[in-house]
Chain A
Amino acid sequence: MASINWFKYASPVTFFPLAGRLIPWFAWMAAILAAIGLYVGLVVAPTDFQQGDAYRIIFIHVPTAWLSMFLYVVMAIWSALALGFNTRVSAMMAQAIAPTGALMTFIALWTGAFWGRPTWGTYWAWDARMTSELILLFLYLGVIALRNAIDDPRRADRACGVLSLVGVVNVPIIYFSVKWWNTLHQGSSISMTAAPKMAAIMVSGMLIMSFAAWFYSIAVVLARVRTIMIDRERGAAWVGNLAEVKNA
């Protein structure tokens, strides 16, 4: 059985060019899928029987909300790997994910507010789903702030890693909040265990947009991790030998 030596890419020297090669693929996939997804969502999909056209916010709201939770879990996993293996790239990946996760959380909250106003009659309510998602935004901002507060990057890695791991308990709370408590927010339309409670064309628009958001996040995180690598390893020989650095 052929095995891949994953530790080969645990060093910035090998991960940097790999990330550079992957970025255009993910960026183009994100752009193409977003174009298809928006077309399906805004043109092909029919209006909703009770919400009219207001429901179309779902094509932005749900993908970003999913990503906000998923990215946090990925950040926590990288943090755990960084704490356990003491690998530099893991910590840098965790660092690179935080701003994109915060952006996704912010978009989910923002679009949710503008969806809530015409349907529920309010921008905001302190129900369990919305409050726990707001806590997620504060967790992302907390991780970013903590990183900036500590000068030594290795110490910052450890502190942010612990905070990320502590915060990961919030993710299942967000996901199951609509099941566990009475909330103003409706339950999940899509779940692993039941048939979708949406027309098929609406589901496909939402899934395409989710993949677009996913690929966008990968492309942006890889681009960000490259700048983090150059910044944190600026004294190292391999950075000095990079064509991008030499010609700058």
Chain B
Amino acid sequence: MSASRSERLLNLLIMLLVQQRYVPKERIRQVLYPDQAGDAFDRMFDRDKEELRALGVPIEVGQLSAYFDDEVGYRIRPDDLALPEIALTAEEASVLTLAGKVWHHATLADSTAAALRKLVPGLPLEAGSPLSISEPRITAEEPTFDDFWTATQERRTVTFDYRTPGSDSAGRRRLEPWGVIRESGRWYVLGLDVDRKQERIFRLSRVEGATRLGTRPDAFQVPAGTDVREVARRLKPATDKQPLDVLLRTGAGHALRRRGTLLASGVSGPDGADHWDRLRVEGALSEVSAEVLTLGTNAFAESPPEFRDHVGGRLDQLVAALSVPTTGTAP
């Protein structure tokens, strides 16, 4: 780390902060970059501004004079720079400590640590008693996660190769990312597919090779009122879910019971006995049928009729297949 760079960054911040008016670029150069000129100075100055902005320092750019519009100045408003007064109790401080351990991902863990450091001066001296909250963790193993996170954050377009399920080769996509979402242990990105001019959702693990971020930040706007979760729900491949009624023997079918609603107990079942429960499950016919079949004589597909016929039909075929001695080769 270069001490002189740190000095320069801090001095730049102070210089722009303590002036009431915009500081001309040339004045900044004379004081802080006396050995630099022309393009070299521009590049150095741009990098330094970028570095300060990354730290959360808002640098304003303004026109110095009404007559010469090429004269640019810079300033930092003290009220824009300062963290609003936040007072936290010891209990609230321990919540923050816990939050600092959530991200099991290098970049995001660093960002969280930087945020917590800024909050340190506002924390009470005495430590709070530990709360009864177990430590959650969020991971992101997908190599392209950082890029999609940054692109979402900075509203840059992303170009990447994507392999659609069932196809052998990957196709090039250009996306304006609106948000990232994690579900069932996987990260997805959703947004506007620029070439198809439609909302799309992509699974990060199906992105092949490297991504390319657009050079321009704020390259697009997320449509006002976009609810990422709602969009994700809308874009999910449609499964033909329907209400299906299943009879389960009392005490059987735990997996199905967890996802369904109990409608009645002590129902008369297909064997004539009345120790059955009626359960309503919302699901795809083939998938719920598989669950019912798994349970053998402990479950019965009751209604609608096509559900009943589907399960009954599969059992007929299985009985037929098993009744013929198999030779070990295809029929």
- Answer whether A and B are interacting partners: no
Q: Which residues from chain A sit less than 8 Å from chain B, CB to CB?
A: none
